[in-house]
């Protein structure tokens, strides 16, 4: 089942209350891509690569190795929450089926190869929010590095032409909610 309001494919969108929101979303995606992609493309590509699985796995290993018993518990917590985040991400992404802005918004330039064809929600940001929230709960000093990276990750997804601002905001909200729920359970 596809969610109609998430399908930003022009004339098929019929819900008037969402029309303005989606138009703002498209305009922001286009304007941020135009303003930020070319001059800072290397930065956004580096942030994109750093936001991938292997970088977060390295963070978990470092926390487990250098953080003592609490570090091992934190890394395990991040790993389990990451699995839950991945399941939610796949379920939502395959239900929403929202095309990426680089595919349907004229003028948006794709600067990186997407992992799949759908944009909603941003998986990079979803996982960055979940992992950053959990790691910062165990080690508050890490927030100084992780929260700015989360913001850069969100900007990079839009600048690279792969996501709309609503994809990024939804990814951050879902990731933070998963992390908060997992922290409440311990």
Burial 48-83 (b: 16+ CB within 10 A, else e): bebbeeeebeebbeebbeebeeebeebbebbeebbe
pLDDT digits (tens, 9 = 90+) for 1-18: 344 444 545 445 456 777
Whole-number pLDDT of residue 86: 95
The whole-number pLDDT of residue 85 equals 95
The class level of CATH for 15-185 reads: mainly alpha
* pLDDT for 14: 52
Q: What is the pLDDT of residues 10-42, one digit of tens each?
A: 445 456 777 888 888 999 899 888 888 888 889
Query: What would the 3-class secondary structure string for 77-100 be?
Result: HHHHHHHHHHHHHHHHHHHHCCEC
pLDDT of residue 54: 92
Q: What is the pLDDT of residue 38?
A: 82
User: pLDDT tens, position by position, for the chain (186 residues)?
Assistant: 344 444 545 445 456 777 888 888 999 899 888 888 888 889 989 999 998 889 999 999 999 999 988 999 999 999 999 999 999 999 999 998 888 998 888 888 888 888 888 989 999 999 999 999 999 999 999 999 999 999 999 999 999 999 999 999 999 999 999 999 999 998
Domain ranges of the chain: 15-185
CA dist., res. 101 & res. 33, Å (int) = 10
The pair of structure tokens assigned to 57 is: 């796995």
């Amino acid at each position: 089942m596809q969610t109609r309001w998430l399908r930003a494919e022009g004339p098929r969108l019929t819900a008037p209350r969402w029309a303005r929101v989606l138009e703002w979303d498209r305009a922001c995606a286009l304007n941020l891509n135009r303003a930020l992609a070319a001059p800072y493309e290397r930065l956004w590509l580096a942030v994109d690569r750093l936001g991938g699985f292997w970088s977060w796995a390295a963070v978990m290993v470092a926390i487990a190795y250098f953080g003592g018993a609490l570090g091992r518990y934190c890394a395990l917590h991040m790993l389990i929450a990451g699995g839950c985040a991945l399941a939610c991400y796949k379920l939502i992404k395959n239900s929403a089926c929202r095309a990426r802005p680089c595919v349907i918004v004229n003028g948006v330039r794709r600067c990186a190869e997407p992992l799949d064809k759908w944009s909603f929600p941003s998986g990079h940001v979803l996982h960055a929010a979940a992992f950053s929230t959990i790691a910062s709960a165990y080690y508050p000093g890490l927030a100084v590095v992780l929260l700015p990276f989360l913001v850069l990750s969100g900007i990079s997804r839009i600048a690279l032409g792969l996501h709309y601002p609503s994809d990024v905001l939804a990814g951050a909200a879902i990731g933070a909610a998963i992390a908060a729920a997992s922290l409440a359970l311990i």
